[in-house]
Chains A and B, each alone.
Chain A
Amino acid sequence: MFPETAQRLKAAAPLVSQTRLLKDLSRLYPHGGAFSLQSRRQISVSGCLSAKIQPPRKPREPVEIPGLEMVTYGERMHFVPGLAKPRYPRWERDYKDPRYYTAPPAQEMPLYKEKPCHVFNQRTSALEGVRQAAWLTKAKVIPGLPPHLLSLAENPENQIPDQDERVQNAIKHARFWDTTQERPRKEKYSNTLLLNLLHLCATLQSRNPAIGRRILAEDHSLAATWTRGDDLFQIRGRNGLLHTSMDPLPEVSGKDEVSQTADYVLETFYPVSPTIDLQQVNVYKEDVNCSGFTGDYPYPHAHTLYFLETTDSCKLRPEQFRAKMVMFTFGNALARAHKLYGTEPQQLLDRPVTVQAVGTNGRIFQFLVFQLNTTDLSGDDGIKNQLWLEDDVELYDFAKVRPLIKKKQVKVPAGLTGYKPEVFTKFLSLYLHGAA
């Protein structure tokens, strides 16, 4: 092959100087190897390194003339300069494959409606907090729990033996002992604390057998619909923990108090509209009322809801957390009322539906009692619902794993400090309401 190569290279010589070629060749292959030297590799970089930057070129816009048909190179099956690029219709699969399903736009959905619906879900953070929730539920806010409720737990019969010590042990278990690491995380200890307190309350079943007619349920879906003025509202979501019972809760306030609420004027907050922060949807099912359980569930009446603070995506501020509590309590009450009395708005319910709620972040508790007196929520006047709210009560001050030391003095010792026993009595009274 070599003499052939040399012949070829000599023929190429007129364009490249032969001596230089041979020199280069000898430089490239000094040990005169047996590789084939048929062609010399020629790699070069063209274009200078510091050119003027061209301004960004806008792509030419294709012109559409309605009557004229574009001559494309589609039929020729290859590019032809000068002809237009063919535009093909979008290919649709003729069978249904669930892996490649794209939802149609909202206007083409079967449940599409012109009138939007405002939906409150668990992620909603209401701007105005409890005031907005009270306007949406047409409720009068009464600060503090009803007094006859608190007297339930002060009755010595209804107290757990060694109550304070057992509650403190429950707190210590939740905050210190329930982990292999240094300290348990907030969502874990708040959950453990709530379950421990519920367990303590349930030990009174020997004295009050009515407690046995209740059951706990978790993560059931709630749906309720109502109109307020011109707008349609829905509440949808999955509750945290729900205590349901076979018997409904007794009403908290009497008939005359209920009729007095007709004089109360709901608080508005101009210029903010009460529908702010609610999700507006055009695709929804009308008149959906679901309490989360089927018709023949043995424990249909909602007793207490327990809310824990979620720490993952939607952290709610305390005011917004209380608003969420109010809305979901109302949702449960409304779903129950619609089941009992039908979906027609009723001015005054014969037996008002009462639902309770407790919200906590592991240390601070919010207590709520909601009484649904009316389902006629379209106007702003008439009988209102009632809402007793006690917010931001601390069960204990500090539960520190390591003591807080400032300037070599112990400010807060390690362990549980500042335990307040009255908070647990409130918890217990809400638990025993309806049973004792």
Chain B
Amino acid sequence: MAVSCLTRALRSLTLSQPALLSSQAVAQTKLGTQVSGTVAQCRGFLTTASLENNRTYWKEREKYTVRPIGMKKTGGRDYTGRIRTHGIGGGHKQKYRWIDFQRLRYEPNKEDKPFDEKVVEVRYDPCRSADIALVAGGNRKRWIIATEKMQAGDVIRTSAVIGRMAVAANEGDAYPLGALPVGTLVNNLEVQPGKGAEYIRAAGTSGILLRKVNGTAIVQLPSKQQIQVLETCMVTVGRVSNIDHNKRIIGKAGRNRWLGIRPSSGLWQRKGGWAGRKIKLLPPMKSYVNLPSISAN
């Protein structure tokens, strides 16, 4: 089908007449077709190769590695090639260190046992505001988000056991929410057990465990919103590292460019209802738990 389209398009562009047929036959038979050929608008066709980009192939590695992975920057462009997010582009080259957000990941042979890991080094990560820590336990090494007072040589514990008594947790340890005392500062919160941490990962942030209600726990996020999650969701104790991140001063436009932030449009717009400080009530508590609904008949 593609070939017939192509030949149709190319035929409309031909200049020379086929000289093999007699002129009269040409005049009669080709007239109709030539009319249709010259006058019918042929759809334009692409002469370039396919427009797939190889910008996301670096993300498709399956096996976990501690080695930094080379990254391709997108410049705010999406798969079509158009800008989807303005203000992104340029900046220093960065290598991606694959962070393991699922803290409770057992080694292949040692399932279901609480384990310890030793912090080998804590270092800067160009891809996020928090610092990252290389931890080694058993036979494997992995990167995790470092907490505030984590240093090389510390031993951190990960356990999935929820006992009757709350655990006196040290900073950097990871426990399920049901095992922690109410009022602890937590970070790297999972909303669904086993999915991996999605909340409270930025530098200096911490959530507070507010209360525990039969099988679920309610955590206050750094934006003061409260969410309800299952008590088996894993969470690490303490504040995320690099707490002075919000106090830094960029200083000059060039530093923003080094971070990959392009200037905004500069067009002056009259500020409308969207601008200015808003004082409003907190949104209602979001629940990620499918409680059996008590339906009133």
B5 to chain A, nearest CB (A): 13
- Within 8 Å of chain B (Cβ to Cβ): is A40? yes
Q: Which residue from chain B places its CB closest to the CB of A5 in the assembled complex?
A: B17
Chain B contact-residue range equals 35 or more
A56 near B79: Cβ-Cβ < 8 Å: yes
One of B35, B82, B136, B138 near A11 (C-beta < 8 A): B35
Task: Knowing A271-B138, A273-B139, say if A45 contacts B38 (CB, 8 Å).
Answer: no
Within 8 A of B (CB), among A226-263: none
Task: Knowing A40-B38, A272-B137, A275-B139, say if A46 contacts B43 (CB, 8 Å).
Answer: yes
B44 near A39: Cβ-Cβ < 8 Å: no
B13 near A127: Cβ-Cβ < 8 Å: no
B120 near A39: Cβ-Cβ < 8 Å: no
Q: Which residue from chain B places its CB closest to the CB of A9 in the assembled complex?
A: B38
The digit string for A122-137, where 1 denotes a CB below 8 A from any CB of B, is: 0000010000000000
Chain B residues within an 8 Å CB radius of A12: 34-35, 38-39
B34 near A39: Cβ-Cβ < 8 Å: yes
A126 to chain B, nearest CB (A): 11
CA distance A39 to B35 in the complex (A): 9
9-residue interface stretch from B87-95, B111-119, B204-212 = B111-119
Chain B residues within an 8 Å CB radius of A15: 35, 39
A45 near B44: Cβ-Cβ < 8 Å: yes
- Within 8 Å of chain B (Cβ to Cβ): is A38? yes
The digit string for B114-135, where 1 denotes a CB below 8 A from any CB of A, is: 0111101000000000000000
The digit string for A36-80, where 1 denotes a CB below 8 A from any CB of B, is: 101111111111000001001000000000000000000000010
What's the A-B contact tally at a CB cutoff of 8 Å? 76
- Within 8 Å of chain A (Cβ to Cβ): is B12? yes
A85 to chain B, nearest CB (A): 14
B129 to chain A, nearest CB (A): 28
Chain A residues within an 8 Å CB radius of B115: 271
Chain A residues within an 8 Å CB radius of B137: 271-272
B39 near A16: Cβ-Cβ < 8 Å: yes
- Within 8 Å of chain A (Cβ to Cβ): is B15? yes
Chain A residues within an 8 Å CB radius of B140: 276
Q: Which residue from chain B places its CB closest to the CB of A269 in the assembled complex?
A: B118
CA distance A43 to B12 in the complex (A): 9
B139 near A276: Cβ-Cβ < 8 Å: yes
A276 near B38: Cβ-Cβ < 8 Å: no
Task: Knowing A36-B16, A38-B15, A273-B139, say if A11 contacts B44 (CB, 8 Å).
Answer: no
CA distance A41 to B13 in the complex (A): 6
CA distance A58 to B117 in the complex (A): 41
A352 to chain B, nearest CB (A): 32
Q: Which residue from chain B places its CB closest to the CB of A79 in the assembled complex?
A: B1
- Within 8 Å of chain A (Cβ to Cβ): is B14? yes
Q: Which residue from chain A places its CB closest to the CB of B40 in the assembled complex?
A: A42
Task: Knowing A11-B31, A46-B44, A271-B118, say if A39 contacts B136 (CB, 8 Å).
Answer: no
- Within 8 Å of chain B (Cβ to Cβ): is A7? yes
- Within 8 Å of chain A (Cβ to Cβ): is B155? yes
B35 near A7: Cβ-Cβ < 8 Å: no
B60 to chain A, nearest CB (A): 15
A43 near B120: Cβ-Cβ < 8 Å: no
A43 to chain B, nearest CB (A): 7
A36 near B15: Cβ-Cβ < 8 Å: yes
- Within 8 Å of chain A (Cβ to Cβ): is B42? yes
Task: Knowing A36-B16, A276-B139, say if A271 contacts B116 (CB, 8 Å).
Answer: yes
- Within 8 Å of chain A (Cβ to Cβ): is B41? yes
A276 near B23: Cβ-Cβ < 8 Å: no
CA distance A115 to B139 in the complex (A): 15
A41 near B138: Cβ-Cβ < 8 Å: no
- Within 8 Å of chain B (Cβ to Cβ): is A270? yes
Chain A residues within an 8 Å CB radius of B44: 43-47
Q: Which residue from chain A places its CB closest to the CB of B41 in the assembled complex?
A: A44
Chain B residues within an 8 Å CB radius of A47: 44
- For this complex, 13 residue pairs linking A to B, each with C-beta atoms less than 8 Å apart, are A8-B27, A38-B17, A39-B14, A44-B41, A44-B44, A45-B44, A53-B80, A271-B116, A271-B118, A271-B137, A272-B137, A275-B139, A276-B141
The 7 closest A-B pairs by CB, nearest first: A271-B116, A45-B44, A273-B138, A271-B137, A53-B80, A39-B38, A272-B136
A residues contacting B by CB (< 8 A) are 4, 7-8, 11-12, 15-16, 36, 38-47, 53, 56, 79, 127, 269-273, 275-276, 280
B residues contacting A by CB (< 8 A) are 1, 12-17, 23, 27, 31, 34-35, 37-39, 41-44, 78-80, 82, 115-118, 120, 136-141, 155
